[in-house]
Structure 1
Amino acid sequence: MSRHVYSKWVKTEAIRKYAAIEDHVPDTRRMTKSSLFNKLKRYNMVYVKPEIGTFGNGVMRVECRSGGYKFQKGAKIHTFVSYDAMYKSILRHTGGKRYLVQKGIHLLKHQGGRFDLRVMVQYSPDRRWKTTGIIGRVAAKNKIVTNFHNGGRLVQANRLLTPHTSKPKSLLKSLSKLGVRVGRAMKSAFPGVYVIGLDVALDKTLHPWILEVNTSPDPYIFKKHEDPKVFKTIMRYARSYPKR
């Protein structure tokens, strides 16, 4: 049984079968010329991302505006008058890889940078799914991805949420519960999975959206967590996983 599931499409299909999770999964489809066009018309802004990829590499933010289209990859913005011209350019950037198109979530911001949250969820030594840590990731200036390995910086979740809600602890508790539900769903579909890292975005209403489920999340970002017990617990659980 494989411990890692690489296809973002396969993971999305697996978790959105559950009613308690489906409402937190943005509309996602495999990218074709027509699927991208239709989602742009519906949402005005979408993200396209490699079906298999890490660290936010290859992710593009695509927008439909009056008078044309544009997409951003890295810090560079490309503008177009026609959809056909934009799509041809996007295909050149995909390098022949399969891509997904996902409803664009307008992330909350911290000091001008978009942020999301990494929710670490692990199968514990007593055979239960537990959320072991939550930490915030803030995108670098003018970047569209928050990944630490792509220039993002790590910030304590409480600090990010406090300006947006009077009850940050309650929100973090609900995210912990969501993480456990996703862990159970993933293990049901993929029995070899023992750890997941959820990338969760919050919109202006504070509704959580699962942008991605990682089955080989980097535990070392939690060395930056304000509570040193968090990283110690994460590593203790990791040592309990069955040997490959």
Structure 2
Amino acid sequence: MSLTDVVQVRGVSHRYGDVEALHRLELDFRSGVTAVLGPNGAGKSTLLGLLSTALRIQRGSVSVGGVDSARDRRRYRDLLGFLPQHFTMPGNLTVAEFLTLTAWQRMVPRRKRADAVDVALAAVDLSSRRDQKISTLSGGMHRRVGIAQAVVNQPEVLLLDEPTVGLDPRQRRVLRHLIVSLGRQRAVVLSTHLTEDVAAAADRVVVLDEGEMRFDGTVEEFTGGRGSVAADIDTAYDALVETGDDR
């Protein structure tokens, strides 16, 4: 499958009762890391829920490589890896045991599971922790195991919902480097409200506000060429969300 325009979001709207969380969203996610940026209530979590199939499509369509999330749900899910913001793991299992269980749940063939676990551990730099109980891991390592479970089936698309929240500065740096590395092999959709995540890890930025897309482009385009550090992104973001203008 080509990693150009891997994910297609077409005319997607979603409501919670009388509240419209997303309004006729038209969007493509390509190879590399795309940060979905927006304030609380912007529609970020709803978009991730629809992309991951945790929420059902009400209007419009979402597809990966032409595989529709509603019409071919099982095949669509096989193409995804997902790390929700709130993610729990069985602390009594070792890292390798948990990833082996996840590989079985993701329909990785028995003969390929051991290799799949090894590859996932190497991807998040936790090979040396494979036999360690999950309950003994630090917060940063927990998040890396969460990413490992999301990539154990070698997905075309990786969805990360606020993955750096709650981590200390060093753990955030490690995780951002990891996200950049994973984006070289697949489309990564990173939902965040932290402009530091965008500056350190993203190739592209999508800004959502009140359920609508306000911007879609590179980090350089977003800041108007002013720079790509967090302060530059903050300035561009504040101006965009305050005015509500499309760019």
Q: TM-score, normalised by structure 2?
A: 0.30
Bigger proportion of residues as strand: 1
Name which structure has the greater RCO, CA cutoff 8 Å, separation 6+: 2
Bigger proportion of residues as helix: 2
Q: TM-score, normalised by structure 1?
A: 0.30
